[in-house]
Amino acid sequence: MSFPTPVRKGRASGSGGWRRQYEALRMPAAQAAELIRPGDAAAVSASANWPYAVDAPLAERLRSQAGHMELLSLYAPLDTALLSPVNADLVSYQANFFSGERLLAGQGNVWYVPAHLSATGDWMCARRPRAAVITCSAPDENGWMSRSLWGASVPRRVLEQAEAVVVVVNDQLPFLPSDGEGHMLFHVSEADAIVEDSRPPAEHPPVPAGETDRRIAEYIADLVPDGACVQFGLGGLANAVGECLADAGKRDLGLQTEVVGNCVMELMKKGVLNNSRKQTCKGRSVGAYLIGDKRLWDFARDNPMFCQKEIDWTNDPRRIAENDRVVSINNAMEIDLTGQVNAESVGPRQYSGTGGQLEWVLGSQWSRDGRSILALRSSYRDKAGVLHSKIVPQLPLGSVVTTPRTCVQYVVTEYGVADLKYKSVLERARALIAIAHPDFRAELSRALPV
């Protein structure tokens, strides 16, 4: 692996070798927290990379000074001191994707930012964060640290713009291979403070695939040709798709994705996914985030068959389209009969986020012989056990349109595949009704456009 040249000049840059600089930068968490001033906006790495070691000292500093700060991140853990309800008047939090944040929104200090994941750096830089607090792996023999599992949540150009960068070095985070444009490495000489920590990163064990997911996955696998460059989402469906691709005997698949999960590891182990026919990063699986469990961390650690990249690199539709036969696979929450897709809200209530869905929908269709697939279960039961269709005449009032109807290609449920591309409004409505739950087909047919 070839290494880049450090760009940012940290507080100890130039004062001897990187080991000497590391010792000069190492300090207690409370001291590092003093580099962040009341009134600052600060970018903070997410989820498994949340800087726990600095979290509580920073919250205590804000309380003691009656200060206030703005946090920029996503997928914030629910056990953070900074986002505790008692600190709601001290911290404003903005995220361009919701997970546990949806449970915190009622505090009045947690806000969603509508933005594509590839625009994470643009959004953060627009807020002009004076500080950044990130968690990295231990440095290698050259002083480079991997920003690791969730490190793409704070893009490098945000770090280069920040006046103060505090690095929590967690020796339990895996060092993930990364190089070239959009690399995910950070050098000791680029830091302004180092706080050491040792805690197991939060795991997201694979969600077992149910029978409905399996049926959807079988239809999806039929749409994936040999040599395709695939993009997966998360959850039981992604795992089911991985299993079906292997069972179907697919060959020479490649990977460029925003999220690498355990299903990727399984496909690589089985030789189904070998990246031999890709045009970019040939021979290597490329992703921005690694979301799974310890088995995935151990498999990806120092594995030359992986290359972690920035989210603006992986999710740029123009770069996605540089590979041939890209097949993007994403989830939807509901779709109306014209093809409008909601993948992020329950009515007006933000549930998740735009994420990278539209980026992959566009990039895969711009790819030579590429395909975009949006998958959803045909129905769901509410808390009272009443069955509802996820294919609806019109999206409910306040629902977000994540992917406009003009961009939708394949829609898959457990009842089949609907190809909506270049179909009339009437044709696409009929195609969607054909893959709706049978209990709702007559009702949906009465809502056909005239």
Q: Are 185 and 139 in contact (CB under 8 A)?
A: no
Distance between CA 446 and CA 268 in Å, rounded? 47
Asked if 163 is an active-site residue, the reply is no
Distance between CA 371 and CA 394 in Å, rounded? 25
309: its two tokens: 């990249």
Across 46-183, the runs of DSSP E, i.e. the strands, are 69-73, 91-95, 110-112, 131-136, 144-146, 164-170
Please report which helix (H) or strand (E) contains residue 239, including its range: helix 236-247
DSSP per-residue string spanning 279-298 = SSSTTSEEEEEE-S-HHHHH
Distance between CA 263 and CA 267 in Å, rounded? 6
- Residue 217, sorted as left (phi over 0), alpha (psi -120 to 50) or beta, turns out to be alpha
In sequence order, the 6+-apart residues with CB closer than 8 A to the CB of 37 are 67, 130, 131
What does the CA dihedral 359, 361, 365, 366 come to, rounded to 10 degrees?
A: -10
Write the single-letter amino acid at 407.
C
Among 258, 266, 322, 344, the active-site one is 258
Long-range contacts of 434-442 (CB under 8 A, 24+ apart): 435/378, 435/391, 435/411, 436/378, 436/389, 436/391, 437/378, 437/379, 437/387, 437/389, 437/391, 437/413, 439/379, 439/387, 439/389, 440/379, 440/389, 440/391
Quick count: other Cβ atoms within 10 Å of Cβ 85? 11
Q: Which residues pair with 133 in a beta bridge?
A: 44, 166
Residues with catalytic function = 258
